[in-house]
Amino acid sequence: MFDTKWKITIVIFKKNKLYHIYNQGNNRTKIFYEDRNYDYFLYKLKVYVLPYADILAWCLMPNHFHLMVYVRDTEKYILNNSESKDQKTRSLNDSIGILLRSYTRAINKQENRSGSLFRSGTKAVAINSLKSLMPTLAITQNILLLRSILSEKQYPQICFNYIHLNPVRAKLVKNPLEWKYSSAQDFYGERKNKLTNVEVAQNFVEINLAPHLSEPFT
């Protein structure tokens, strides 16, 4: 049976909506220990998220991750080799849960650890739905909140910039293009990553990070 502690909280995904999805290590501990861990998580995103959604921006940090996605489907049929007429479906919520659970097993084995790797309850906020936006804007423990009610187009841009500036804000690099585990290089560099849908992203945000490098977010 699917472990409910891995399910997405906050919202029920809806088609044709943008979402900011994020989680961090349990007790703020690391979730990525080596380069191969980042690569493995990116592979998991392709397997478990891309069938449902276009990933418009992403950033993997040592102890947390951020995704900005455009949901195309909330449920998909599970392919199997049987001739059973009882076709089963899997929701995007469950698929993300399986991603986190399987990644946790791999890290626990690698690090000879046990227990939860991520905080229970991955957060997902609909960022082009005014009803879902919170009333304050601040960054507390790497969590983005809203200070005032913004227009439907403003928050996707804020979220997009925030995700890419995460490594700079954490003082891991001086320029977002120096952090290879984000989609910044897909937009502003020469890398072509099959994970990031640049074309769809351009429908919702302006691809121009430079003016925001010194922009305050507190």
Which CATH number does the domain housing residue 149 bear? Answer: 3.30.70.1290
Chain centroid to Cα 205, Å, comes to: 17
Question: Does residue 218 form part of some domain?
Answer: no
Would you give per-residue pLDDT tens digits along the chain (218 residues)? 334 444 555 568 999 999 999 999 998 899 999 999 999 999 999 999 999 999 999 999 999 999 999 999 999 988 665 554 566 899 999 999 999 999 999 999 999 999 999 998 899 999 986 444 443 333 334 444 444 444 556 789 999 999 999 999 999 999 999 999 999 999 987 788 889 999 999 999 988 765 545 444 33
Question: Does residue 217 form part of some domain?
Answer: no
Question: Does residue 133 form part of some domain?
Answer: yes
Helix (H, G, I), strand (E, B) or coil at 147: coil
15-29 residue pLDDT tens: 999 999 999 999 889
Question: Is this model's pTM higher than 0.85 or not?
Answer: no
Question: Does residue 132 form part of some domain?
Answer: yes
Task: Please say whether the beta carbons of 103 and 117 come within 8 A.
Answer: yes
Task: Please say whether the beta carbons of 43 and 60 come within 8 A.
Answer: no
Question: Does residue 155 form part of some domain?
Answer: yes
Task: Please say whether the beta carbons of 164 and 59 come within 8 A.
Answer: yes
Query: CA 78, CA 67: separation in Å to the nearest integer?
Result: 24
Domain carrying residue 24: 4-79+88-212
Secondary structure of the chain: what % helix, strand, coil (to 5)?
Answer: 35, 20, 45
* Number of independent structural domains in the chain: 1
